[in-house]
């Protein structure tokens, strides 16, 4: 095979197929590989005079077709499949070749793979890709981490295919080792939190304001024109008026969807690792918990019959929409603050050397959590790269002050009317705790010392103390 290809991609499912077509659209020749002949044939059919695309079910043919150093991206399910694909590739690779894992691999797996491949002088990248199938085709946000020198070979392709925000590509080298996969993991954790919050506000508007689906659409659409502008608010507005193709009833499609959410684990990983690092992320934690609670549908249905609920009070629609917009804005800020706090701590713990302003920049377009708010976040971290938390940024103090009281009012209303608002509640609790000089944890320290001699510190003297309690 005389003509060699610029870029190789393994895994021609929906994401892989769209990504490789995006590469070809931007003038790079691309060769795909999949064990499924139908997927290979479908991609080959896309080739024309303007797009140099080919594919094969043979891993040997695939590797032989690529220019050196080979740039090979994997878009396959995380876990053992990634290791299996790497093992099948190794006999056909040379020193200096580059493997890029574009899936949602757990960051410690990426560190292990990079270490193993370094022994063979093969570069390994973990590159989170966000934006779904449409983003993969038209421009995703890409979060690569690995060898900085090897990134120079990938950079032209990634910058060409990535989403653009005011002309800037939404991709940047983030750091060594598993920095890219880690940032994508936290991105997904924030995504869990934002999705939970948008669903709670929807529930509140329906129950306390009797909003119709059309009114919900109009409200969310209006919000998307303002400071809540974001991909998730935009698609939510569209979901409210989606008709049911099965035509089983006159209800919209949303009203026929079972309230039983699934998850692939990245939100849980964020929550677990944040706990390991000692960084609180309660808005993300509760979003994971709520998906777990939603899975208990039969138990919830049975329990509902055992307890009475208060009759829901009604709030004027105009007032409720105003409170809801302010509360959602407040809780969005808090959720981003928690996720970025984890990234800052992980950067120190794992040696990633992350620049939070750069991460916020590449999230401004293409990815699922893209939002107008990220422009303000970028500015805040450009002004102060060592900012410990978004909540103490001068850029955000007034924004939070102007919206927190609406969150208080709605959390109290939800509690009184038995409308669960756990994401909003946890965002408020986090804010109140983080902004409190004095917390009642002095009592916990006294208790720990009482029953376990765990010692405590004092306000009036330096040192560590223990008391023989009576």
CATH of the domain at 55: 3.40.50.720
Report the distance separating Cα 365 and Cα 170, nearest Å: 6
- Are 317 and 463 in the same domain? no
Tokens standing for residue 75: 């878009």
> Is residue 64 domain-resident?
yes
> Is residue 2 domain-resident?
no
- Are 275 and 399 in the same domain? yes
In 295-403, which ranges are continuous DSSP H helix? 297-304, 317-350, 356-362, 373-383, 394-401
- Are 426 and 469 in the same domain? no
Q: Could you give the angle at the alpha carbon of 277 between the alpha carbons of 272 and 279, nearest 5°?
A: 85
- Are 124 and 136 in the same domain? yes
- Are 159 and 188 in the same domain? no
- Are 102 and 224 in the same domain? no
- Are 173 and 212 in the same domain? no
The domain in which residue 126 lies consists of: 7-177
- Are 454 and 421 in the same domain? no
- Are 273 and 291 in the same domain? yes
* pTM of the predicted protein model: 0.94
- Are 230 and 85 in the same domain? no
Q: Dihedrals φ, ψ of 65, to 5°?
A: -80, -10
Q: How far is CA 410 from CA 54, 330, 421, 423, 441, in A?
A: 56, 12, 9, 12, 27
What positions carry a catalytic annotation?
184, 191
Report the distance separating Cα 105 and Cα 227, nearest Å: 33
> Is residue 237 domain-resident?
yes
Strand pairing category for 53-56 and 71-74: unpaired
Residue at which a domain ends, from 130, 146, 177: 177
- Are 69 and 217 in the same domain? no
Per-residue tens of pLDDT for the chain, all 470 residues: 467 999 999 999 989 999 999 999 999 999 999 999 999 988 888 766 567 899 999 999 999 999 999 999 999 988 899 999 999 999 999 999 999 999 899 999 999 999 999 999 999 999 999 998 889 999 999 999 999 989 999 999 999 999 999 999 999 999 999 999 999 999 999 999 999 999 999 999 999 999 999 999 999 999 999 999 999 999 999 999 998 888 766 778 999 989 988 777 778 999 999 999 999 999 999 999 999 999 999 999 999 999 999 999 999 999 999 999 999 999 999 999 999 999 999 999 999 999 999 999 999 999 999 999 999 999 999 999 999 999 999 999 999 999 999 999 999 999 999 999 999 999 999 999 999 999 999 999 999 999 999 999 999 999 999 999 98
Q: Identify each DSSP E strand in 62-195 by its residue range.
A: 71-74, 98-101, 123-130, 141-145, 164-165, 168-169
> Is residue 1 domain-resident?
no
Q: How many domains does the chain have?
A: 3
Looking up tokens 């009281």, which residue turns up?
Answer: 405
What number of CA atoms fall less than 13 Å from residue 236's CA on the CB side? 26
- Are the C-beta atoms of 378 and 357 separated by less than 8 Å? yes
- Are 199 and 279 in the same domain? yes
CATH of the domain at 466: 1.20.5.320
Q: Identify each DSSP E strand in 46-113 by its residue range.
A: 53-56, 71-74, 98-101
- Are the C-beta atoms of 396 and 254 separated by less than 8 Å? no
CATH of the domain at 194: 1.10.1040.10
Residue at which a domain ends, from 136, 157, 177: 177
């Amino acid at each position: 095979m005389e003509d060699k290809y610029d870029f190789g991609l393994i895994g021609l499912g929906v994401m892989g197929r769209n990504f490789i077509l995006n590469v070809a659209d931007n003038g790079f020749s691309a060769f795909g590989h999949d064990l499924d002949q139908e997927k290979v044939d479908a991609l080959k059919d896309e080739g024309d005079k303007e797009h140099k695309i080919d594919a094969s079910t043979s891993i040997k043919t695939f590797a032989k077709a690529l220019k050196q150093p080979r740039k090979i991206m994997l878009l396959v399910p995380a876990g053992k499949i990634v290791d299996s694909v790497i093992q099948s590739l190794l006999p056909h690779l040379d020193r200096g070749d580059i493997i890029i894992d574009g899936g949602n691999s757990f960051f410690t797996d990426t560190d292990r793979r990079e270490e193993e491949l370094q022994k063979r002088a093969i570069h390994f990248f973990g590159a989170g890709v966000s934006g779904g199938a449409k983003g993969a085709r038209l421009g995703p946000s890409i979060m690569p981490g690995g060898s900085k020198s090897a990134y120079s070979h990938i950079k032209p392709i990634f910058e060409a295919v990535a989403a653009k925000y005011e002309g800037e590509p939404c991709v940047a080298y983030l750091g060594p080792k598993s920095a890219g996969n880690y940032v994508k993991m936290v991105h997904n954790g924030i995504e869990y939190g934002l999705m939970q919050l948008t669903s709670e506000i929807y529930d509140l508007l329906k129950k306390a304001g009797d909003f119709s689906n059309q009114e919900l659409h109009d409200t969310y659409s209006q919000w998307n024109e303002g400071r809540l502008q974001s991909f998730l608010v935009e698609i939510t507005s569209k979901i409210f008026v989606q008709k049911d193709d099965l035509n089983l009833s006159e209800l919209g499609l949303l009203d026929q969807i079972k309230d039983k959410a699934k998850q692939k684990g990245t939100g849980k990983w964020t929550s677990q690792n944040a706990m390991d690092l000692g960084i609180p992320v309660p808005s993300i934690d509760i979003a994971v918990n709520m998906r777990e609670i939603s899975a208990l549908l039969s138990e919830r249905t049975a329990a509902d019959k055992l307890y009475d609920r208060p009759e829901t009070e009604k709030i004027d629609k105009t007032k409720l929409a105003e409170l809801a917009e302010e509360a959602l804005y407040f809780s969005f800020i808090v959720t981003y603050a928690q996720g970025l706090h984890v990234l800052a701590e992980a950067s120190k713990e794992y040696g990633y050397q992350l620049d939070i302003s750069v991460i916020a920049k590449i999230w401004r377009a293409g990815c699922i959590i893209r939002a107008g708010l990220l422009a303000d976040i970028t500015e805040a971290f450009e002004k102060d790269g060592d900012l410990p938390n978004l909540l103490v940024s001068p850029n955000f103090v007034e924004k939070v002050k102007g919206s927190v009281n609406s969150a208080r009012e709605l959390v109290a209303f939800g509690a009184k009317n038995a409308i669960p608002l756990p994401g909003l509640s946890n965002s408020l609790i986090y804010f109140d705790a983080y902004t409190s000089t004095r917390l009642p944890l002095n009592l916990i320290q006294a208790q720990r010392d009482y029953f376990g001699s765990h010692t405590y510190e004092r306000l009036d003297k330096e040192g560590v103390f223990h008391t023989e309690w009576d």
